[in-house]
Amino acid sequence: MKRLFVLTALLIVIVNTYAQKLPVPESIGKQHPRIFGQDMSLGEVKKLVENEKWASQIINNTKNRLVKYIEFYEKDKTWLVSRLQMYWKSRSNQVYINGGSYDHAEGEAPVPTVKFIGGRGTPSDYKRPKLEDVTPYMDDPRGLYLQNKTTDVWEWASIPSTSGTTASINREILSIARDAAFLYWYQDDKKYADLAYNILDTYLKGVYYLNEPIDLSHGHHQTLVSYTQFEVIQEHVLNEVTQCYDFLHNYISNNHSENLKIYDATLQKWADLIIKNGVSFNNWNLLQAAHISNIALVLENNSHYENGKGATYYLDQIMNQTSTRQWSMKKLMDYGYDENTGIWNESPGYSMNVLNDFIHFAEFYDRNFEIDLIAEMPVLKQAVKSAAEYLYPNKFQVAFGDGHYGHLRSEPIKYLIENAQKYKKQKDEVYFTKMLKTIYDENEFSGEFVGRNISDLFSSEAFQVKSEIKPGKLSDFTSPLFYAPNTSWLVQRQGDDEDDALMISQIGSFGNHMHSNGIAMELYGKGLPMAPEMGHGSSYFSIEYAEYYTQFPAHNTVIVNGKSKYPEMKSNHAFNVLGMYPKSQNKEGNIKGYTFSDIEFLEPETHSNQRRVMGIIKNEICGFYIDIFRSKQKENKDIKHEYFYHNLGQQLNLTSIYDEPLALTPTSSLAFGDGDLMAYDYMWDKKSIKTNDDFKGQFSLKMNDRTVNMNVWFKGEDNREVFSVMSPKSTAFRHGPLPEAFNDNPIPTLVVKQNGEAWNRPFVAIYEPNENGNSNIKTVDYFGNTESVGIHIVEKSGKENFVFSNTNDNDELKNNELSVKGTYGVISQYNDEFTLFLGKGKSISNRKYTLEVKGDAASTSLKYESGNLYFSSEGNTYLKINEVNKIKKSVLTDASGKNYLGTYDKKSKTVVFNLPMLSFQAIKIELN
């Protein structure tokens, strides 16, 4: 019986393992070329060229590009080949690197071998020469003969100082060979084949005899390196190599068949090294897969090779097999994607690149093998849907970590539409067509197809969408609150209008391309990310990236003792969500105008507790943000806590609550010299004032047509110092949404230093986006004690908002007849209308009406507006109506018509309704 059980369990494992495999085609076929699709018909291409001007233009452009090279070849068959960057004389087959820099090469191969590049992503002081200026057969111990960028003098440059010049020259020459191979296939002219073959033969044999480079530092670079590049993902020359080989394959088979074996062996060893090296858990895996798939498409079937490493072998390697640095597609998706949210565990730009790569791979698979990977990998569809959650109301994406503000790439949405059309998925077609039309301008989905590249000749169908499907609102595709645990990212939104809507983006440090930033945030206002992220500086290898852009002071966060820091890039420091409203991705049944989040974080460097409560309060006239940040060192070793807030603009004006300018004076504080982080020294024009008083501020961004402001009110505390400083520009702005003239502006920054702890004396701020110096807020004052915070905000309309925040669900904070027991609550009053919003807690009351949550703390709300009552709750709740005279019967009716009988307590004159969890809906109450 035991043996039968073991065998059964083993069978289940085998079946499950088999079931989880992604499909791989049984045969690649025998036809060449096939790299641009399974049916690359010469007749169809020629027909297309006859009928379409753009297709004819591609042919003409390709011919015109090759004219001079054909002339050179006819005069000197070595003209192009001799300009390949090879070890012509030394024939070295063993390259040595030292970290990210070329060191030397040695050994000897029977033929010239391909030269390695000089440095990994390093800048060069030398110009990349035109092919006409490249010295033939250049293989000199002095390096490369190049033109100095500064002096314009031609001189010998050491290989490490030339960066990627060798690879750039070689790729250009291989692209010429590719074009020639295509024209040979297109018009059967042998002169093109001879030109292409000469180059391809030299290059592929030059790779065949290379060994894997050796890193003398025995470091991480050894795990990344390829035959010609420091990074396997940078072997983009494989695009030209495989395309050239594919178009030339029949020519080689007929004229130089003895070389097919060595060419295929070269591509196999290249693919094997790309599988062996690289990075498995991020977009590298997909970029590696793209290179390997290009190789697979030009190889033959497995049975053609003694080692069995043919097309389907390599396709299976990237689809289903897992090695240390090349995971299977399924393992990569399971690791990187949150199945529920569809968010990839990297910063937004990289996440979208990964999605685009996945979709491109699905399109490639569909085009070549008629296999629908969207059906096989359903998380991809969710990922395309969830991509909209990255968007601000201005349709630019958020920019945390190494990201930048930009538009979403449209390719994933377009392919989902094409996929839905091809495989008859009607609901998907409607959804993604509406999404495309909502997010993008009409030029993204209208007009005829106009190709520009050779590949377009094999994919010439115009992208079509149904005109009867209309665009919607951005909020059809986004959520009032969205939380992605696998990137430690939370968003709150209110409103649809680009200029009027509000949005908070909060970020921890969990995943790849993240920064050391604690609980950071971005704020949106008036069409712009007003409180922006800073991007990654000039490059990942720059000193300012390491010292400033990835560090706490470059973010909107709180720094403890001037020392808060932890590893950036691949980081594992997530925040923990204690409470939020509404529930993540819940789009229906929410109270309008109110959101909140309560987030805690352990700052590891100083071993400190941090907690940030943020909320949006918005109506048709006024909208603003609440920010309450508590911070303390666990062992009571609090020296100081500093609240950093960066905002777009040319200036920051700070005043008292009576509009009197604060008397700030120049200071040398906030400096590395005080023992603080190096990032503090990147700030300048530092001015400060020691004050315990409440104060106000206004950031002003003056543009040609308007001035955009962020108004701020800040609660005072004992032992405070307030700073106005300038910080380096945000490199997250490249192509909008700011006018380009403002992209390099420094960032005005507010810093509030709390000497000692900042838990019982938390940082309390209210932010209001507005324009032209205006504000819709009349006054702000405060109530509460120690760690309990109360804010009283009076709008110019007369509406009052009382914000309550405690650190415990069972703690109660009162203000006259108003009270909240819980971590966050808002009571808004205007004339006889009111709103009770309990974000998370046990009770909220305005004296007349009280909501009490039964059991665990939850969210609940009651709103009276235009003579109607509205109620919601995420848990069972008592609704109490106080000061009710003697009654016989009390009935509450919900939107579905269900009745709830109330009980009346004569002594307290209170009617109590026992209500279940209900979405936000109208209710009717009858007291008879």
Position 734 confidence tier, pLDDT thresholds 50, 70, 90: confident
Report pLDDT digits (tens) over 539-581.
888 999 999 999 999 999 999 999 999 999 999 999 999 999 9
Q: Are residues 832 and 696 located together in one domain of the fold?
A: no
Q: Which residue in the block uniquely carries the two structure tokens 């394959």?
A: 249
Give a yes or no: residue 582 inside a domain.
yes
Q: Are residues 636 and 738 located together in one domain of the fold?
A: yes
pLDDT for residue 338 is more than 70:
yes
Q: Is there a contact between 49 and 332 (Cβ–Cβ < 8 Å)?
A: no
pLDDT for residue 8 is more than 80:
no
**Its pTM surpasses 0.85:** yes
Q: Which residues contact 227 (CB under 8 A, 6 or more apart)?
A: 114, 116, 207, 210, 212, 213, 235, 270, 273
Structure tokens at 417: 């539409």
Please provide the average confidence, as pLDDT, over all residues in the chain: 94
Mean pLDDT over 42-56 rounds to 93
Cβ neighbours around 220 below 10 Å, total = 11
- CA neighbor of 698 nearest in space, from 666, 657, 670: 657
Domain boundary among 278, 293, 317: 278
pLDDT for residue 157 is more than 80:
yes
- CA neighbor of 647 nearest in space, from 560, 715, 746: 746
Q: Are residues 718 and 834 located together in one domain of the fold?
A: no
Position 10 confidence tier, pLDDT thresholds 50, 70, 90: very low
Position 888 confidence tier, pLDDT thresholds 50, 70, 90: confident
Q: Which residues contact 320 (CB under 8 A, 6 or more apart)?
A: 21, 22, 24, 328, 329, 330
pLDDT score, position 447: 65
Q: Are residues 714 and 626 located together in one domain of the fold?
A: yes
Q: How far apart are CA 281 and CA 336, in angstroms?
A: 7
pLDDT for residue 221 is more than 90:
yes
Mean pLDDT over 712-729 rounds to 98
Q: Which residue in the block uniquely carries the two structure tokens 């848990």?
A: 875
Position 123 confidence tier, pLDDT thresholds 50, 70, 90: confident
Position 451 confidence tier, pLDDT thresholds 50, 70, 90: confident
pLDDT score, position 2: 41
Q: How far apart are CA 293 and CA 366, in angstroms?
A: 13
Peptide bond into 412 cis (omega under 30): no
Q: Are residues 768 and 790 located together in one domain of the fold?
A: no
Residue 194: domain span: 34-115+165-278
Give a yes or no: residue 23 inside a domain.
no
- CA neighbor of 687 nearest in space, from 673, 669, 667: 667
Domain boundary among 278, 299, 320: 278
pLDDT score, position 281: 85
From the number of C-beta atoms within 10 Å of its C-beta (0-12, 13-18, 19+), residue 856 rates as: exposed
pLDDT for residue 446 is more than 90:
no
Mean pLDDT over 692-716 rounds to 97
Mean pLDDT over 757-769 rounds to 98
Q: Are residues 790 and 769 located together in one domain of the fold?
A: no
Report pLDDT digits (tens) over 494-527.
999 999 999 999 999 999 999 999 999 999 999 9
pLDDT score, position 460: 60
Q: Are residues 585 and 674 located together in one domain of the fold?
A: yes
Q: Are residues 761 and 808 located together in one domain of the fold?
A: no
Q: Are residues 763 and 714 located together in one domain of the fold?
A: yes
Q: Which residue in the block uniquely carries the two structure tokens 């937004």?
A: 348
Report pLDDT digits (tens) over 902-925.
999 999 999 999 999 999 999 999
Give a yes or no: residue 455 inside a domain.
no
Which CATH number characterizes residue 535's domain?
2.70.98.70
Give a yes or no: residue 81 inside a domain.
yes
Q: Are residues 825 and 847 located together in one domain of the fold?
A: yes
Position 6 confidence tier, pLDDT thresholds 50, 70, 90: very low
| 3-class state of residue 159 by DSSP | helix
Domain boundary among 721, 747, 775: 775
pLDDT for residue 20 is more than 90:
no
Give a yes or no: residue 704 inside a domain.
yes
Give a yes or no: residue 334 inside a domain.
no
pLDDT score, position 39: 78
Q: Are residues 528 and 644 located together in one domain of the fold?
A: yes
Q: Are residues 749 and 810 located together in one domain of the fold?
A: no
Task: Between 444 and 693, name the one with better pLDDT.
Answer: 693
Give a yes or no: residue 463 inside a domain.
no
| 3-class state of residue 594 by DSSP | strand
pLDDT for residue 1 is more than 70:
no
Q: Indicate the number of domains in the chain.
A: 3
Task: Between 20 and 245, name the one with better pLDDT.
Answer: 245
